[in-house]
Amino acid sequence: MFSTQAGAATFSDVGDTHRAKDEIYYLATGKIANGEKDGHFYPDRQVTRAEAAAMIGRTLQLNGNQVNTDFSDVGSNNFASGYIEEAAKKKIITGYNDGTFKPEKPVARGEMAIMISRAFGYGATTINGAAKQLMDKGISSGTADGSFGTSLPIIRSDFSVFLARSINAEMRMDGEQPDFSTVKYVNADALNMRKGPSTLFDPVTQIPQNGQVKVAYMIGKWAYVQYNQSVGFVHSDFLSDSQVDQSSSNIAGKTIVIDPGHGSPDTGASGYGLLEKDVVLDTGLRVKGYLSQTPFNVLMTRETDKKIELSDRVTFAREHNADIFVSIHANSYKGDSSGTETYYYSAAYHNPNVDASTALATYIQHRLLDFWHLPDRGVRNGDFHVIRENTMPAVLTELGFIDYKSDNDKLKSPYWRQEAAKAIYLGILDYYYHYKNYNDVLPLYDLLQAQPSTKWY
Ligand SMILES: [Zn+2]
């Protein structure tokens, strides 16, 4: 029933006959459970409290960026510190009275039951209550003596089994059936139902706008739903209590073209061993990652390192009837300039969308200043082919100077490129919200737990 997805990891110590194979590979597909660099999963190793927090945190898509926590023994160097901090805030996990978390301490089965109950809202208040819930739901059987074994340590394979079954009721043993009773309607154009609660899982089917689904439970922001004969997960941002008046849906199916500059053999600018073509492609793909979770249709002029003529980038956007066009670049100048600038084109006899382009550039620039924190070189008029010759609102952002050390440090960092992608995504939303007055972008801010910006333009 649960075939391993193409491209998913394989572990040399979890073969075809391993009893927890389905569950371990299910979690690996969602990058909820990972192996070690040596290609092993170590299914028989005891789970530490840090590992448990990380796996639950990844399941709920909490922010895993490493931070200093309130626990005296979990600093930002701990791989799970972000998840520990976030899960503690949500009261899924707790520390000890002496202010420590004891991240390396093995987790006992009872502790795990409580964590799962809190993470998925089962509502147990005691370890025994939580253990009984897991058994009633068919998530866990007891130990050989018929008890739950609350004080026994739990190994990675068993933890994986319990976690996978908690996430996906199709993997459970006989027990209480999930109650698909809450009726919702899909508010996106065509919503993918997936095998698990993130976009890393393959689609099961697509649900059209206003399709009626029945929700059984939530895993973070993902709803476990039934639609016709299919069951799977959809992001709850795209579910509403009532049907969409289709005449009022402004963004569904609107096409956004993301244009990473340059491409082999044209490297663009370079500095400190870094090539513009590579960093702008990676940033563009991260922007796509956000937009593809929305009702927008997102297209990229390139998704690999290849040469594309400037005129072909424009033709591509026109032929796909793009609603906006966002080109991503990095600058260089003698190694002595720093900062972010975003361009529009101001001569209306070419691209007539001067006002809209200026608005889009303004919102993207402001978000970049907020998230990316390089000096402000402003929203500027620039005579670049891809924004001059296009026929829709079009902007070109220069993230920073690749030949200037502090800018280069950001451009080479995956963490910072993700921040830049967030900024561009939110800048696009701000444009639609403030400039186009499209209220149906409002739920899309939830993806980053953000709010609309100040009305800059
Ligand atoms: Zn460039």
The answer to whether domain 182-245 has CATH 2.30.30.40 is: yes
209 token code pair: 């706008």
Residue-wise pLDDT for 123-152, tens only, equals 898 999 999 999 999 999 877 777 888 999
Residue matched to tokens 């993902």: 222
Q: Please identify which of the residues 51, 276, 389, 398 carries the catalytic annotation.
A: 398
Quick one: pLDDT at residue 2?
47
Residue matched to tokens 């795209």: 238
Cα of 313 from ligand 1 centre, angstroms: 14
Cα of 328 from ligand 1 centre, angstroms: 8
Instruction: Of 185, 262, 263, give the one whose Cα is nearest residue 223.
Output: 185
257 token code pair: 């073209």
Spatial distance between the Cα atoms of 92 and 96, rounded to a whole number of angstroms = 14
Instruction: Of 342, 355, 327, 340, give the one whose Cα is nearest residue 381.
Output: 342
Quick one: pLDDT at residue 247?
53
Spatial distance between the Cα atoms of 155 and 20, rounded to a whole number of angstroms = 11
Residues paired with 255 in a beta bridge: 297
Domain ranges of the chain: 21-171, 182-245, 255-448
Cα separations in angstroms, 251 against 224, 248, 295: 25, 9, 7
Q: Tell me if residue 341 is catalytic.
A: no
Quick one: pLDDT at residue 439?
85
Quick one: pLDDT at residue 425?
98
Cα of 266 from ligand 1 centre, angstroms: 10
Cα of 431 from ligand 1 centre, angstroms: 23
Class of domain 255-448: alpha beta
Same CATH topology for 182-245 and 255-448: the answer is: no
Cα of 292 from ligand 1 centre, angstroms: 24
- What stretches in the chain show pLDDT beneath 70? 1-8, 189, 244-249, 348
Quick one: pLDDT at residue 249?
63
Quick one: pLDDT at residue 248?
57
Quick one: pLDDT at residue 87?
96
Quick one: pLDDT at residue 1?
41
Quick one: pLDDT at residue 368?
98
Spatial distance between the Cα atoms of 254 and 233, rounded to a whole number of angstroms = 24
Reported residue count of the chain is: 457
Residue-wise pLDDT for 259-305, tens only, equals 999 999 999 999 999 999 999 999 999 999 999 999 999 999 999 99
Residue-wise pLDDT for 12-65, tens only, equals 999 999 999 999 999 999 999 999 999 999 999 999 999 999 999 999 999 999
Quick one: pLDDT at residue 5?
57
Quick one: pLDDT at residue 8?
63
Cβ pair 387, 346 in contact under 8 A: no
Q: Residues 260, 261, 262, 263: what is their CA dihedral angle, to the nearest 10 degrees?
A: -10
